[in-house]
Amino acid sequence: MKMFSPEIETLDRKTLRELQLERLKHTVRYAYENVPMYRRRFDEIGLKPEHIQTLKDIELIPYTTKDDLRDNYPFGLFAVPMKKIVRLHASSGTTGKPVVGGYTRADLDNWSTCIARILTMAGATDEDIFHVAFGYGLFTGGFGLHYGVEKLGATVVPVSSGNTDRQIMLLKDFGATALIATPSYAMYLAETARQKGVLDDLKLRLVCMGAEASTAEMHEALHKILGAFPTENYGLTEVGGPGVSGECREKAGMHINEDMYYCEVVDIPHNKVLGEGEQGEMVITTLVKEGMPILRYRTKDITSVTYEPCKCGRTTARMSRVVGRTDDMLIIRGVNVFPSQIESVLMGMDELGKTYEIVVDRVNYMDTIEVRVEVVDASLLTDYSQLEALVAKIKHNLRTVLQLDVKVKLVEPFSIKRAEGKVKRVIDLRK
């Protein structure tokens, strides 16, 4: 299996740990000396950079949260003068101020290395033609993946998001072999290509997805339609964007770029760093960032990590698919529900389309949850007995997974609005 940085990706764990410790010590001192917020935080609790002597000592450092980034908006956490910042990105943040990231030239170079590794582990080579359908702009997805493709030496088609018909035309005419998009948009493109009858004209062999949660069932469904191998990758603006981790062909978790990121999985309510395989919140420390080093960032993403070497030959830790964000978890009549649990049920049923939404409400002080999902064949909606049977089957499958009764509404194909970037599946009317 080809690797972009084999010397790092197959490093024995002891040496990797030593490298991480050396970089952690450097980052802690660097942040302490150059970012007033970190100095203040450390001073308040009498912590000094030299107290960090082992990787475990990282637990002495307080967490950084999204509020810290907002409080220091826009450039307060930068560790270098603006002159050294060559790029800014920001999250789309639907409420309040966005989260801003600043990159030095070296940061951009490391970033594209991370992406080139991830694309290589997905099976890409310098002969691929990448159609990048992530938005180009402040969002880290478009430019982030773009420069990674270039570093790999493959061809990049910077289409950006939107105008789906034109995307299909370009996919076809330029003979793209790899698609980069959010899972929901990749599915939209796939469904549209199918509807137009042009699936056979596409040369796609890879779909590299990220920026939002997806399920194994969604990957399978996409593989079936497009005939292209799906992988996903993970990252967030606060620590530099995509490039934290990505899936290899084994699809057995996302390999973390551990020479650049130190990842912990934490049980936040009990403030306890969890062990291998235990599920909790991902907390990330950057190990090589110059522009905006971040110590112990609470991502709110729920995952677990394994350190077993992978069949692909890489020794880097792998994080499991993100189950959901702590703030996306719905509590319905006391039961915790992640939208991904609902997705895994719906995607596994061939009668159903791949677009759905979840409406949560409160009626007479009782939480209600309704799943609206498209059918593949609209004629089913007029056949009452078939319709009833299918609704009953979906309800049953959802109940098995969620231990909860869910209302189900089947709707016509293409009747739910598609997203061109990150999809918003949950409409919570209780808020």
Q: For residues 241 and 353, which CB has a smaller minimum distance to ligand DLL in the complex?
A: 241
Query: What's the 3-state SS for the chain?
Result: CCCCCHHHHCCCHHHHHHHHHHHHHHHHHHHHHHCHHHHHHHHHCCCCHHHCCCHHHHHHCCCECHHHHHHCCCCCCCCCCHHHCCEEEECCCCCCCCCEEEECHHHHHHHHHHHHHHHHHCCCCCCCEEEECCCCCCCHHHHHHHHHHHHHCCEEECCCCCCHHHHHHHHHHCCCCEEEECHHHHHHHHHHHHHCCCHHHCCCCEEEEECCCCCHHHHHHHHHHHCCEEEEEEEEHHHCEEEEEEECCCCCCEEECCCCEEEEEEECCCCEECCCCCCEEEEEEECCCCCCCCCCEEEEEEECEECCCCCCCCCCCEECCCCEEHHHCEEECCEEECHHHHHHHHHCCCCEEEEEEEEEEEECCEEEEEEEEEECCHHHHHCHHHHHHHHHHHHHHHHHHHCCCCEEEEECCCCCCCCCCCCCCEEECCC
Pairing relationship of beta strands 407-411 and 366-375 according to DSSP bridges: parallel
Shortest Å, Cβ 244 to ligand DLL: 8
Q: For residues 70 and 325, which CB has a smaller minimum distance to ligand DLL in the complex?
A: 325
Shortest Å, Cβ 98 to ligand DLL: 9
Shortest Å, Cβ 241 to ligand DLL: 5
Shortest Å, Cβ 137 to ligand DLL: 11
Number of residues in contact with ligand DLL, rule: CB under 6 A?
A: 20
Whole-angstrom distance, CA of residue 205 vs CA of residue 323: 26
Q: For residues 177 and 233, which CB has a smaller minimum distance to ligand DLL in the complex?
A: 233
Applying CB under 6 A, among 233, 286, 315, 316 the residue interacting with ligand DLL is 233
140 is a contact residue toward ligand DLL (CB under 6 A): yes
299 is a contact residue toward ligand DLL (CB under 6 A): yes
301 is a contact residue toward ligand DLL (CB under 6 A): yes
Applying CB under 6 A, among 35, 149, 213, 221 the residue interacting with ligand DLL is 213
236 is a contact residue toward ligand DLL (CB under 6 A): yes
Shortest Å, Cβ 246 to ligand DLL: 8
232 is a contact residue toward ligand DLL (CB under 6 A): yes
Residues paired with 233 in a beta bridge:
210, 246
Applying CB under 6 A, among 135, 148, 242, 293 the residue interacting with ligand DLL is 242
Which range binds ligand DLL by CB under 6 A, 27-35, 40-48, 219-227, 235-243? 235-243
- Shortest Cβ contact with ligand DLL: which residue? 210
Closest CA to 238 of 27, 106, 66, 67: 66
Q: What angle do CA 128, 133, 137 make, to 5 degrees?
A: 120
Q: For residues 42 and 297, which CB has a smaller minimum distance to ligand DLL in the complex?
A: 297
**Contact map string, positions 317 to 346, toward ligand DLL, x by CB under 6 A:** -----x--x---------------------
Applying CB under 6 A, among 91, 110, 155, 161 the residue interacting with ligand DLL is 91
Which range binds ligand DLL by CB under 6 A, 58-66, 134-142, 165-173, 217-225? 134-142
Applying CB under 6 A, among 234, 297, 338, 356 the residue interacting with ligand DLL is 234
Both tokens of residue 54? 């082992």
Shortest Å, Cβ 423 to ligand DLL: 11
The Cβ-side half-sphere exposure at 1, using a 13 Å CA radius, reads 19
Q: For residues 49 and 148, which CB has a smaller minimum distance to ligand DLL in the complex?
A: 148
303 is a contact residue toward ligand DLL (CB under 6 A): no
Which range binds ligand DLL by CB under 6 A, 6-14, 28-36, 158-166, 233-241? 233-241
Shortest Å, Cβ 80 to ligand DLL: 21
237 is a contact residue toward ligand DLL (CB under 6 A): yes
Query: What residues line the site for ligand DLL (CB under 6 A)?
Result: 91, 134, 140-141, 210-213, 232-237, 241-242, 299, 301, 322, 325
